[in-house]
Structure 1
Amino acid sequence: MYRSHTCGELNIADINKEVTLSGWVQTVRKFGSITFVDLRDRYGITQLLFGERLNEQLDQTPLGREFVLQVNGVVAERSNKNKNIATGEIELDVHSFKVLNKSAVPPFTIQDETDGGDDLRMKYRYLDLRRNPVKRNIELRYAVSRSVRNYMHENNFMDIETPFLIKSTPEGARDFVVPSRMNEGQFYALPQSPQTFKQLLMISGYDRYYQIVKCFRDEDLRADRQPEFTQIDCEMSFVEQEDILQMFEGLVRRVFKDVKQIDYSEIIERISWEEAMWQYGNDKPDIRFGMKIANLKFPQHSFPTKKEQSEIFDGVDFKVFKEAETVVAITVPDAAEYSRKQIDELTEWVKRPQIGMMGLVNIKYNKDGSLRSSIDKFFSEEKLKAMAAVAGAKAGDLILILAGKEERTRKAMSELRLEMGKRLGFRKDNEYKLLWVLDFPLFEYAEEENRWVARHHPFTSPKPDDIATMINNNPKIEHPEKYLEHPYANIKANAYDMVLNGNEIGGGSIRIFQKELQQKMFAALGMSDEEAKEKFGFLLGAFEFGAPPHGGLAFGFDRLCALLGGSESIRDFIAFPKNNSGRDVMIDAPSAIDQKQLDELQLSIN
């Protein structure tokens, strides 16, 4: 028996008990004729006391950090108690010990605050995983997984595996492909999601399916992306949108309760995609704070249902606003006393290449009711007050205004809003706000290709009221400059995204389940009948055998874990992640394969 207890288990109730522990040496502290050693395992740390007899033995065979050690001894009360650890009231008076394995000097200190950089820690990830912060992340990931599985089981979902070697049907991100040795010149693809398989499971009668499943996308990486990532993939039959929203609100509330001990009982707000874009500048808004975007000048063509045009700038010869497609503002509460230096810093911030604006206009609504602005010579106080009214400002507030091309300006204001929320402490790590974003456009217009593309994926159903529009109209765009006037521009998707603190954590839709409508969707995306049959003939064929109405949702499991753990990077919550170049620097992958393997696969590399 290597151990009778773990290193995080013993306490004052175990005094005088003889025990055996095994673990890794965290620290060694020698004080004259005695030595203290902190022994660590997954569960915690126990202090070991080596008395005079064993201390002489340690002089002959010194212990080093990360040595694997087995000790036998008696639990004793510590004289200098440590209230910061669970075992801090006791120590083990060691009677005998055995070095199970020695360790080389670690390349970085295996402590909470380490001296190892990212690249070094990724190269020795198996050592990095010993550190408490990383261990806590992996434990949180497991806790989320356990909570999800319990909830899904209680609600009659079945965990059903789907294949990893499938057919390549690239729609959006690039596929990872796998050559087939037995089928010369042909390739499998790794799934970007189990989308078509879960729909086939609905047709098969398994009306509640889920997986916590690996997915693969060959795309450029950033903090919240990995080439292989994990989804909580779910699908239900005989449901409408409200059934889906209710079911998965329940799942997220359960995870909050089980993992964070938070009783998230408040109603989850719902807004349309259009409202999100108008009020926040993006489709995954952070609603932990206000500062909604005020639209001082509406663009001529951005949102088909928005036609009004502001009159604030009538009669004002200010070129920046006059020539801009759109002018937007946010009101920063109680910030009218911002200094010139602070305003200049914000101006430089919006001029950065990643934001891309030419400048920033400000209006200070002073506490005495007066207004001062960087555009005073162009605007009367009456006009400034009109802008302040549209922006919802009050005395003591600061109004920040951006103007320019619609898409860039709205995105820049969204980023500025988030930056101000961060600077003012409104984006609190310990506060969580969930949101549903609904009624997305079904299509986007790809200008360079002059065709429609699916905003979600080609299996998303239109809203019920828009199905006739889709069936009865030709998707071809005869006049690209007037694409917003095409009936397809107004079709809404029966789709929904769940947002947490400004991050999309899940998304899904009610699916198309009739063959005619699915064929119409493929045609709208520019697929010929032959191409649709080649890529998705199996699904179209399945629709002929009694496909039920169905829909589902997939959560980004890694991202959900990261947000619950207070991190912006999903990499911190994956045991063996890739770096930003898609490499596993620990095992040095991807790597070349030898000529024999290439020959077996009938592949040549130029």
Structure 2
Amino acid sequence: MNTFRTHNCGDLTVTDINSEVKISGWLNKKRDHGGLLFLDIRDFYGITQCVIDCEHENFHEIEGIKLESVVSVSGKVVERKEDTINKNISTGQIEIKVDKIDILNESEIIPFQVAVQDDAPEELRLKYRYLDLRRKNMRDNLILRSEIISFLRDRMRGEGFFEIQTPILSASSPEGARDFVVPSRLHAGKFYALPQAPQIFKQLLMVSGVDKYFQIAPCFRDEDARADRSPGEFYQLDFEMAFVEQSDIFKTIEPILFDLFNKFSSNMEVSKVPFEIIPYAKAISEFGTDKPDLRNPLRVVDISDCFENSGFKIFEENLKKGQVVKGIVVKNSSDRPRSWFDKMNNWAREQGQKGLGYIIYENDSAKGPIANNLKDENFKMIRDKIVINNGDSIFFISDKINEANLFASKVRDKLCEEFKLRKQNSFEFCWIVDYPMYEINKETNKIDFSHNPFSMPQGGMDSLINKAPLDILAWQFDIVCNGIELSSGAIRNHKNEIMVKAFEIAGYDTHKLREQFGGLFEAFKFGAPPHGGSAPGIDRIVMLLADVINLREIVAFPLNQQADDLLLGAPNYIDNKHLKELNIKTIDWEKNEVK
């Protein structure tokens, strides 16, 4: 028999009445009812109430014990009185009449409440993370994360995928975010890099003849923190398949995600398979972003041509400067007072815009500052493009194309919030496809890869030779849920001659390509199959299913936003002896000294 317990703290029910049992756990709560001491004992599985009579030999000792002390309790299971039943816990119909209680480890005064969900500062919670993880919501999040990963592993194996681990110590790559680097003791002056993703290795597995690979892959990127992004590491369901096209990848992962979100969400509607497919250009045009939240019913429409020779001089002049005009219609919105429209105009100015134009349509007539200066035939042109009925309003955005799209996305979200239009209790999935292969790098003003440089260009070599770089599309895609990017993926390039040309357009000569990606380049000489894959983010999936907006709520031991480990004190200084072994000297930049 286990020395410390016969049952867990969530096990006991009315079927155990009159049984002699033993439980162990943490003292969650303590209540003195004048002659009776009630103790809530908590472990990972639940809470059990225990009762000690004032005649018990340990009564006064236990009366003074601090919360979160570890105790072991032996006694008889008895039924609670009907008016004391707690329906909020699984053991709420019983309690243990204590015969013996041992203090296994007494706690000091805790820095914040564990039994109660108070608003303890996050920095304090991270410093005492082991206490924070005792809280029910944190425990539930850890369990959810574990069950999600187990589900994904089982489904991937069921689809014929093999789980294969790829190296953690690898070579640095010039692409993507900054690397975390690890100095080599044996090779002075050289460094390993922690992988930003298993990109090269999973492609090499395809060249190796592996047909379907996956792993729950740790990825490391030295980048700034966000609410949904850790500054250190994150995990993804990384998978790759040989001899596939884009549609094959969609058909493989869609039912897995559909079943996952159905299984681990309650009273939530999940997009039916197949998920909606939206070309990148359409997403940018209609939503202002390539991460559209489809729960928002509002759409953005380009109505630039409706304002040519329209009488509304501001937009006419903008069009002459190469700018665009976009509109968003909100149904049944004209009853808002003028002050509300003024408030929206002020909000737009706070966003750095000149304002937010609008037209109200009532009694078959257009009203408002813009309508007063707009020719009737031009408003008819607008109505031919967008359905506008009595009681509706239309809001206008005019700027350079990129700026207009960006602001239109904000306006769409703002209007959705103002009119409470967002669909509730729903997970809305979509694929964003047909990404541009190249873009203009804002820092260098030169052609650069827009996404994954190892993607296959649509049209292959012919596109690379005969199309302008900014017109070339790639076999790249994202999967988005409720406006959150869960994953990027692609059909990969598997031919060296196409890789050489693709990198040449982005400014890499063959020598540089082979120097930085020589392993993959060499492997492609020996027969690489067509292949592709994706990598849905575990952390973001768990965040959606746990209904939290902060990644640190679903990770056991996260760094804070400044990339500090407040629990163990990382990053920390390395002693000089260790630095010498690693052939490293540090620089005090303030004193300009080498140490």
The alignment's TM-score, normalised by the length of structure 2, stands at: 0.93
The correspondence for 2:27, drawn from 22, 25, 30, is: 25
State the Cα deviation string for residues 198-242 of structure 1 (Å, max 9, x = none). 000011111110010110111122111112111110000011111
| Matching residue of 1:574 | 555
CA 1:423–1:311: 2 relative to 1, 3 Å: closer
Supply the AA of the counterpart residue of 1:399: I
Runs (4 or more) in structure 1 with deviation over 4 Å come to: 261-264
Q: Say which SS state the counterpart of residue 373 (structure 2) adopts.
A: coil
Alignment of 1:502-541 (within 5 A): 502-541=483-522
| Matching residue of 1:406 | 401
The correspondence for 1:330, drawn from 328, 350, 361, is: 328
Question: Are 2:578 and 1:584 aligned?
Answer: no
Supply the AA of the counterpart residue of 1:542: A
| Matching residue of 1:130 | 134
Q: Say which SS state the counterpart of residue 260 (structure 1) adopts.
A: coil
Percent identity (aligned): 38
Q: Say which SS state the counterpart of residue 460 (structure 1) adopts.
A: coil
What is the CA–CA distance in structure 2 between the aligned matches of 1:427 and 1:588, rounded to whole Å?
Answer: 42
Q: Say which SS state the counterpart of residue 323 (structure 1) adopts.
A: helix
Query: How far 1:55 sits from its partner (Å)?
Result: 7.4
Question: Are 2:463 and 1:469 aligned?
Answer: yes
Question: Are 2:361 and 1:360 aligned?
Answer: no
Q: Contact 2:307–2:315 (CA<8 Å) still a contact in 1?
A: no
State the Cα deviation string for residues 6-41 of structure 1 (Å, max 9, x = none). 111111221111111111111110011001111111
Supply the AA of the counterpart residue of 2:357: V
Q: Contact 2:310–2:378 (CA<8 Å) still a contact in 1?
A: no
CA 1:4–1:426: 2 relative to 1, 3 Å: farther
What is the CA–CA distance in structure 1 between the aligned matches of 2:571 and 2:279, rounded to whole Å?
Answer: 42
CA 1:119–1:344: 2 relative to 1, 3 Å: farther
Q: Contact 1:331–1:399 (CA<8 Å) still a contact in 2?
A: yes
| Matching residue of 1:233 | 238
CA 1:138–1:428: 2 relative to 1, 3 Å: farther
| Matching residue of 2:432 | 437
- Structure 1's unaligned 5+ residue stretches are 298-309, 474-485
State the Cα deviation string for residues 416-450 of structure 1 (Å, max 9, x = none). 21232234333345211111111111111225424
State the Cα deviation string for residues 241-283 of structure 1 (Å, max 9, x = none). 1111100102202312332266844531111111111110111
Supply the AA of the counterpart residue of 2:144: L
Q: Contact 1:313–1:322 (CA<8 Å) still a contact in 2?
A: no
Query: How far 1:321 sits from its partner (Å)?
Result: 5.2
CA 1:136–1:427: 2 relative to 1, 3 Å: farther
What is the CA–CA distance in structure 2 between the aligned matches of 1:144 and 1:296, rounded to whole Å?
Answer: 45
CA 1:129–1:505: 2 relative to 1, 3 Å: same
Aligned residues: 577
Question: Are 2:262 and 1:257 aligned?
Answer: yes
Compute the RMSD of aligned alpha carbons: 1.9
The correspondence for 2:542, drawn from 561, 571, 578, is: 561
The correspondence for 1:7, drawn from 9, 13, 33, is: 9
Q: Which moved more, 1:61-70 or 1:505-514?
A: 61-70
What is the CA–CA distance in structure 2 between the aligned matches of 1:361 and 1:548, rounded to whole Å?
Answer: 54
| Matching residue of 1:304 | none
What is the CA–CA distance in structure 1 between the aligned matches of 2:500 and 2:13, rounded to whole Å?
Answer: 67
Q: Say which SS state the counterpart of residue 98 (structure 1) adopts.
A: strand
Alignment of 1:341-360 (within 5 A): 341-352=339-350, 355-360=351-356
Supply the AA of the counterpart residue of 2:236: Q
Query: How far 1:383 sits from its partner (Å)?
Result: 3.8
CA 1:60–1:361: 2 relative to 1, 3 Å: closer
Alignment of 1:25-64 (within 5 A): 25-54=27-56, 57-59=59-61, 62-64=64-66
Alignment of 1:45-444 (within 5 A): 45-54=47-56, 57-59=59-61, 62-79=64-81, 80-226=84-230, 227-260=232-265, 264=270, 265-297=272-304, 310-320=305-315, 322-323=317-318, 325-352=323-350, 355-366=351-362, 368-380=363-375, 383-428=378-423, 430-444=425-439
Q: Which moved more, 1:67-76 or 1:368-377?
A: 368-377
Supply the AA of the counterpart residue of 2:166: T
Supply the AA of the counterpart residue of 1:276: A
Supply the AA of the counterpart residue of 1:33: G
Query: How far 1:320 sits from its partner (Å)?
Result: 4.8
What is the CA–CA distance in structure 2 between the aligned matches of 1:10 and 1:417, rounded to whole Å?
Answer: 52
Query: How far 1:603 sits from its partner (Å)?
Result: 1.5
What is the CA–CA distance in structure 1 between the aligned matches of 2:109 and 2:331, rounded to whole Å?
Answer: 54
CA 1:416–1:67: 2 relative to 1, 3 Å: same
CA 1:56–1:568: 2 relative to 1, 3 Å: closer
Query: How far 1:349 sits from its partner (Å)?
Result: 2.6
What is the CA–CA distance in structure 2 between the aligned matches of 1:113 and 1:340, rounded to whole Å?
Answer: 43
Supply the AA of the counterpart residue of 1:599: K
Q: Contact 2:492–2:530 (CA<8 Å) still a contact in 1?
A: yes
Q: Say which SS state the counterpart of residue 144 (structure 1) adopts.
A: helix
Q: Contact 1:466–1:491 (CA<8 Å) still a contact in 2?
A: no
Q: Say which SS state the counterpart of residue 303 (structure 2) adopts.
A: strand
CA 1:98–1:546: 2 relative to 1, 3 Å: same
Q: Contact 2:310–2:375 (CA<8 Å) still a contact in 1?
A: no
Q: Which moved more, 1:49-58 or 1:395-404?
A: 49-58
The alignment's TM-score, normalised by the length of structure 1, stands at: 0.91
Q: Which moved more, 1:72-81 or 1:567-576?
A: 567-576
State the Cα deviation string for residues 546-570 of structure 1 (Å, max 9, x = none). 1111110011110111111112222
Query: How far 1:404 sits from its partner (Å)?
Result: 1.6
Query: How far 1:162 sits from its partner (Å)?
Result: 0.7
CA 1:166–1:17: 2 relative to 1, 3 Å: same
What is the CA–CA distance in structure 1 between the aligned matches of 2:295 and 2:185, rounded to whole Å?
Answer: 53
The correspondence for 1:499, drawn from 480, 484, 491, is: 480
CA 1:466–1:369: 2 relative to 1, 3 Å: farther
What is the CA–CA distance in structure 1 between the aligned matches of 2:194 and 2:61, rounded to whole Å?
Answer: 56
State the Cα deviation string for residues 485-520 of structure 1 (Å, max 9, x = none). x62221111111111011111120111111111111
State the Cα deviation string for residues 299-344 of structure 1 (Å, max 9, x = none). xxxxxxxxxxx13341424225522512212112222112233223
Supply the AA of the counterpart residue of 1:192: Q
Query: How far 1:160 sits from its partner (Å)?
Result: 0.6
Q: Say which SS state the counterpart of residue 10 (structure 1) adopts.
A: coil
What is the CA–CA distance in structure 1 between the aligned matches of 2:301 and 2:215, rounded to whole Å?
Answer: 42
What is the CA–CA distance in structure 2 between the aligned matches of 1:40 and 1:212, rounded to whole Å?
Answer: 31
What is the CA–CA distance in structure 2 between the aligned matches of 1:111 and 1:351, rounded to whole Å?
Answer: 46
Q: Say which SS state the counterpart of residue 338 (structure 1) adopts.
A: coil
What is the CA–CA distance in structure 1 between the aligned matches of 2:295 and 2:370, rounded to whole Å?
Answer: 31
What is the CA–CA distance in structure 2 between the aligned matches of 1:101 and 1:75, rounded to whole Å?
Answer: 24
Supply the AA of the counterpart residue of 1:283: D
Supply the AA of the counterpart residue of 2:260: V
Supply the AA of the counterpart residue of 1:454: F
Supply the AA of the counterpart residue of 2:429: L
Query: How far 1:369 sits from its partner (Å)?
Result: 3.1
- Structure 2's unaligned 5+ residue stretches are 588-595
